[in-house]
Amino acid sequence: MIAGAAMRRRLRVRRGAGGIFVTLCFAATLAGIVALAVLLITVAADGVQRLSWEFINSYPSRRPEDAGIKVALYGTLWLMAFTGAFAVPLGIGAAVYLEEFATRNWLTRIIETNINNLAGVPSIVYGILGLAIFVRYLDLGRSLLAGSLTMALLILPIIIVASREGLRAVPPSIREGSLALGATRWQTVRFQVLPAALPSMMTGVILALSRAIGETAPLIMMGALLFISYTPDSPFDRFTVLPIQIFNWVSRPQHEFKENAAAGIIVLLIVLLSMNAVAVLLRTWFEGRRKW
Amino acid sequence: MVRSQETVEETRERLIQLDLVTRAPEVTEVDARPEAGVAVDIRGLNAWYGSFQALRGVTMAVPRERIVAIIGPSGCGKSTLIRCLNRMNDLVPSFRADGVVLFEGENLYSKGVDAVDLRRRVGMVFQKPNPFPKSIYDNVAFGARINGYVGKLDEIVERALRQAALWDDVKDKLHKSALALSGGQQQRLCIARTVAVEPEVILMDEPCSALDPIATLRIEELMRELARTYAIVIVTHNMQQAARVADYTAVMMMTEDRAGELVEYGDTREIFTNPQKKQTEDYITGRFG
């Protein structure tokens, strides 16, 4: 038996150790948030007075006070729409195949490993690929189409991985229940598994797209770093996107352009955060209805 | 589990006193296998998961309009056996079986048999209630929809829910989520879902193991009701349950290096009161292992 006093002393030490650990973890949490807050505040302080409807709705200009973000904003939105149109069906299709239909053998294992590795390939490599295949070989030029195809390749592995997570979260008992009623595999996937997995798959898709919004390197590689004074009208038009426009402005010597860049960052962040907010809303909305 | 001091007869008597068992001796006494007809005839069935043999030469006949219980310790192959009857094991990649399972005169494991069509005719209720995350109505209608039934869906749904003794509980909330029901109601919904596609055999894999005693009792009553129409095969860990509901009982056993042997199969009353094999007696009196 341990003496009462010694026991209590030990307990104080144990509690103290726990307290120190919690404090360290809290500090770690705080570090990230503080850094982000400082960043946001600096950007906001620089850019907020430039932010206006006029700024959003103006074409680029050599004069910083006339320059606006319209072309890049349109470019980003169009790029996202096309990227999503290419990457989402392919990604979800691949995920459904791998998760629901493919038999486990060496081939599917190789495919799986490769997809997981592709998710970690540096984006500049995708840029080189896009330049070689879409811009040059398929002769699409430095067009919106070539850009979206490159971006689609970039986010495809992310979408596949996220969608597979979503499919795997659907309990096997749902599939068994459906198959036991005489449903085919396709009917089971179509009517039970996909609807149940949809919310988390959509969250994954949105997060993948918001990754693509921030990507600059592959597009610079492909030559979207441009001074363009018109918004794209067709997929074959040239384009630029928000991060490139921001990069462009930052590299100008005049201080006023730096303000433009800050305002551009705010616009980019707003687009990004609203997409993430949609992802969060979707998730909570669906999760409220889904229990198993 | 059976109290070891108590004989099976006493257990049965106690359960009758508690009103947990309906005294229905006439059912078991009148039953003679040939008259009832055979729904599924299993002959020399072996099954493997990879190199592990899960069933060894199982031979038994499942009569129509009766309840057959399969009892035995965990891992003895009970679930494997009933999952052979609707070829649910096909979903396990390493699974293979040989032997004969005759259903409607056709061997389920012969090449031409379509497992999808078979599963419509041999329904299954699982251990844990697994309603689809949809409305009550859609749960019941799903089977009819995918199988392309003609007829009024509303009628199919109502009939199935009535058969599963669930209609009165849910008739005012057919379009509410099935997940809001209690565990027992969910399991009855799963039964309704199964009978909605008009199977000939219903397999139940420990259907009450996740339910409280009251809900268990209701499922058992329902099983007796359904046995007027269907052949029912139930896997259970609960020997009282087998004694309460089953007309026939099969006892499966395993030893350290052998699983999947059918030790004894016969009239439930005989199995529990006058077992022919020592292994059966040890198991039902709780001396097993």
Q: pLDDT tens across A16-55, in order?
A: 999 999 999 999 999 989 998 998 898 888 878 877 777 7
| Measured CA angle at B108 (ends B107, B111), to 5 deg | 85
Kindly report the number of other CB atoms within 10 A of residue A85's CB atom.
12
E-state strands within chain A: none
> For residue A183, which residues of chain B lie inside 8 Å, CB to CB?
116, 142-143, 146
Instruction: Please tell me which of the candidates B116, B126, B133 has its beta carbon nearest to residue A176.
Output: B126
Q: How far is CA A44 from CA A32, A76, A213, A263, A270, in A?
A: 18, 21, 20, 7, 12
pLDDT at A251: 84
Q: Which two tokens stand for residue A21?
A: 């650990």
A 27-46 residues inside an 8 A Cβ radius of B: none
Contact A181 B142 (CB under 8 A): yes
Distance from CA of A182 to the nearest CA of B (A): 4
Q: How far is CA A86 from CA A91, A127, A150, in A?
A: 9, 17, 10
Q: What is the mean pLDDT of each run of 10 residues along chain B (289 residues)?
A: 52 58 39 63 90 90 91 88 91 88 87 88 92 92 88 89 89 90 92 92 91 87 90 91 91 84 89 87 75
Q: Is the pLDDT of residue A140 over 60?
A: yes
* Dihedral sign for Cα atoms in the order A73, A75, A76, A80: positive
ipTM: 0.82
* B261-264 own/partner pairs: CB under 8 Å, 24+ apart: B261/B56, B261/B57, B261/B58, B261/B76, B261/B77, B262/B58, B262/B59, B262/B60, B263/B72
The pLDDT-based confidence of A211 (bands split at 50, 70, 90) is confident
> For residue B120, which residues of chain A lie inside 8 Å, CB to CB?
181-182
A 69-98 residues inside an 8 A Cβ radius of B: none
> For residue A171, which residues of chain B lie inside 8 Å, CB to CB?
130
Residue of B nearest to A177 (CA): B130
> For residue A181, which residues of chain B lie inside 8 Å, CB to CB?
119-120, 123, 142-143, 146-147, 193-194, 197
- Pick from A128-142, A232-246, B30-44: least confident: B30-44
Contact A176 B177 (CB under 8 A): no
Kindly report the number of other CB atoms within 10 A of residue B33's CB atom.
16
Under a CB-based contact definition with an 8 Å cutoff, are residues A222 and A130 in contact?
Answer: yes
Instruction: Please tell me which of the candidates B128, B131, B193 has its beta carbon nearest to residue A181.
Output: B193
- Which pTM does this prediction carry? 0.79
Under a CB-based contact definition with an 8 Å cutoff, are residues B143 and A182 in contact?
Answer: yes
The amino acid sitting at B84 is: C
Average pLDDT, chain A: 85
pLDDT at B11: 58
pLDDT at B17: 62
Q: How far is CA B71 from CA B75, B116, B249, B254, B268, in A?
A: 11, 28, 7, 12, 11
Instruction: Please tell me which of the candidates A171, A174, A181 has its beta carbon nearest to residue B146.
Output: A181
Distance from CA of B142 to the nearest CA of A (A): 8
Distance CA B20, CA B1 (A): 15
| Measured CA angle at A143 (ends A118, A79), to 5 deg | 60
The amino acid sitting at B91 is: L
pLDDT at A184: 92
pLDDT over 90 percentage in chain A: 27
pLDDT at B26: 35
pLDDT at B18: 57
A 184-213 residues inside an 8 A Cβ radius of B: 184, 187, 191-192, 195-196
Rounding to the nearest 10 degrees, give the CA dihedral for residues A173, A176, A178, A182.
-170
B 144-173 residues inside an 8 A Cβ radius of A: 146-147
pLDDT at A292: 46
H-type alpha helices, A119-238? 123-130, 144-168, 172-180, 185-188, 194-214, 217-222
